[in-house]
Amino acid sequence: MKKLTYIFDSFAVIAYLQAEPGGQEVRELLKKSDAGKISVLMSAINLGEIIYIIERKLGRSIADSILHDIFELPVQLVESTMPRVLSAAHIKARYAISYADAFVVALSHEKKGIIVTADPEFKQVESLVDILWL
């Protein structure tokens, strides 16, 4: 039986880090990932999004600390290959979502993963991907 794959967007990780609504559900997914029961992926683009959001709000030193914490999570960071960049570009061209969110959708398509988010922008692409709403 193939392990389920979940794709975190920035909302999911920030909800977890800041103990916001949905953060507990993210924590449960991380526990399952750590136990090898599921796979959790996140695009490096979305990691950058998380860091700039935190740096804007809380400063560089907090962002650096959070970056270290994220690297400790049982989440596989996925680089942006040329095919993935082009896939995200095609998605962004057709749907009014952020470019970073287009990478989440592209990664979900490629890996057949379930997107984990609370971002209402993803409502526009619900017909294209599976979404676990926080």
In DSSP notation, 33-74 reads HHTTSSEEEEEHHHHHHHHHHHHHHH-HHHHHHHHHHHHTSS
pLDDT at 39 > cutoff 80 = yes
Q: Could you report the per-residue pLDDT of 42-81, keeping only the tens digit for each?
A: 999 999 999 999 999 999 999 999 999 999 999 999 999 9
pLDDT at 91 > cutoff 80 = yes
Domain locations along the chain: 5-133
Q: What are phi and psi of 97, to 5 degrees?
A: -125, 165
What does the mean pLDDT of the chain come to? 96
Can you give the pTM of this predicted structure?
A: 0.94
Percent of the chain at pLDDT exceeding 70: 99
Mean pLDDT of 119-129: 95
CATH superfamily of 5-133: 5'-nuclease (3.40.50.1010)
pLDDT at 2 > cutoff 90 = no
Q: What is the Cβ-side half-sphere exposure of residue 68, based on CA atoms within 13 angstroms?
A: 5
Q: What is the pLDDT of residue 21?
A: 85
